[in-house]
């Protein structure tokens, strides 16, 4: 699916409940138009990963997700051989007194996300999400740099596999460390910030339509005030949505001190933060947000 304009893309995102401002929509539009990877940086929970998921749904394309962590290697990102199946094939051949078959054929290959993305491009280019690349080692960044340039993988026993059409690539980073400049040069870049009050309210309306207008506005006001505090981990949009969903499940129609204190675990994930907010601070936040 192609989009005629930035406005058309923005409308399509909104139809799939992703509220994006024009600057973010422009970055996504250019990534699709130029077929370049899009590197999204920002705090956890601001909607970076959701962009890839939404693009896959919008375009009815397969989403392939590579979750990064320290120690990623070829076996976990590209391919590995199915040793158990190879051993079974060898033993069956020996038992039948026949020649051992080629145990390094495609049927013995376990395809990991990057190889899947290249192979599937022959049918329909997937959306490849490389999530939280800042958690991976610099060695993986170097390999990824080569892959993004050539879009091919060499398997000694089989040969070189090339992408017919490169997949749409979304790379996310929570910026726990700096990404190498060489990788950034291969990508379009966009910083995804915490949303404004009105944008976050739009997101809540789109994602949790069952929440009343009063409750939705109160929650967003409260979370916006929380982000002004000196907390260890500020709540992201994901936490806002989790909180609204939890409150709807409790049949809450508005925020009160009791309701807030009972559900703080939906938006704050560290005990020190909860202890700092609980009690008088909750009442103060409600007042500052003009809710009592």
Kindly write down the DSSP assignment for every residue of 253-274, as one continuous string: -S--HHHHHHTGGGT--SHHHH
Beta bridge partners of 270: none
Report helix, strand and coil shares of the chain as percent, to nearest 5: 50, 15, 35
pLDDT, position 105: 84
Helices (H) then strands (E): counts for the chain: 14, 9
The DSSP call for residue 101 is P
Instruction: Look at residue 124 in the predicted model and tell me its pLDDT.
Output: 86
Residue matched to tokens 């422009």: 26
Give the closest residue to 21 by CA, choosing from 6, 37, 34, 3. Answer: 6
CA distances from 41 to 31, 113, 155 (A): 15, 21, 32
Task: Read off the pTM.
Answer: 0.89
Number of other CB atoms surrounding residue 157 within 10 Å: 12
Three-state secondary-structure class, residue 189: strand
Per-residue pLDDT of the chain (292 residues; tens, 9 = 90+): 678 999 999 999 999 999 999 999 999 999 999 999 999 999 999 999 999 999 999 999 999 999 999 988 777 899 889 899 889 888 888 888 777 678 888 888 999 999 999 999 888 899 999 999 999 988 888 888 888 888 988 888 888 888 889 999 999 999 989 999 999 999 999 999 999 999 999 999 999 999 999 999 999 999 999 999 999 999 999 999 999 999 999 999 999 999 999 999 999 999 999 999 998 889 888 888 776 4
Place of tokens 């690539």: 169
Quote the Cα angle for 30-35-41, to 5°: 60
* Contacts of residue 79, Cβ cutoff 8 Å, sequence gap at least 6: 109, 110, 111, 112, 115, 153, 155
Six-digit token pair at 112?
A: 């990991």
């Amino acid at each position: 699916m192609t989009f005629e304009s930035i406005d058309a893309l923005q409308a399509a995102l909104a139809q799939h409940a992703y509220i994006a401002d024009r600057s973010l929509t422009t970055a996504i539009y250019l990534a699709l138009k130029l077929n370049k990877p899009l590197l999204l940086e920002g705090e956890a929970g601001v909607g970076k990963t959701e962009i890839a998921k939404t693009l896959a749904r919008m375009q009815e394309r397969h989403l392939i997700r590579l979750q990064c962590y320290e120690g990623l290697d070829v076996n976990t990102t590209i391919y590995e051989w199915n040793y158990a199946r190879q051993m079974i094939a060898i033993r069956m051949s020996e038992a039948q007194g026949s020649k051992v078959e080629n145990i390094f054929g495609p049927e013995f290959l376990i395809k990991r996300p990057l190889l899947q993305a290249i192979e599937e491009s022959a049918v329909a280019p997937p959306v490849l999400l490389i999530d939280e690349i800042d958690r991976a080692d610099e060695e993986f960044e170097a390999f990824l740099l080569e892959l993004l340039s050539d879009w091919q993988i060499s398997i000694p026993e089989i040969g070189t596999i090339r992408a017919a059409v490169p997949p749409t690539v979304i790379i996310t980073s929570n910026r726990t460390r700096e990404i190498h400049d060489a990788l950034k040069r291969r990508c379009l870049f966009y910083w995804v910030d915490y949303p404004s009050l009105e944008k976050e309210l739009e997101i809540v309306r789109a994602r949790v339509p069952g929440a009343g207008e009063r409750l939705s506005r109160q929650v967003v006001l409260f979370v916006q005030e929380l982000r002004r505090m000196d907390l260890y981990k500020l709540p992201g949009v994901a936490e806002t949505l989790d909180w609204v969903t939890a409150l709807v499940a409790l049949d809450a129609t508005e925020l009160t001190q009791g309701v807030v204190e009972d559900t703080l675990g939906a938006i704050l994930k560290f005990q020190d933060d909860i202890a700092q907010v609980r009690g008088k601070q909750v009442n103060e936040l409600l007042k500052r947000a003009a809710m009592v």
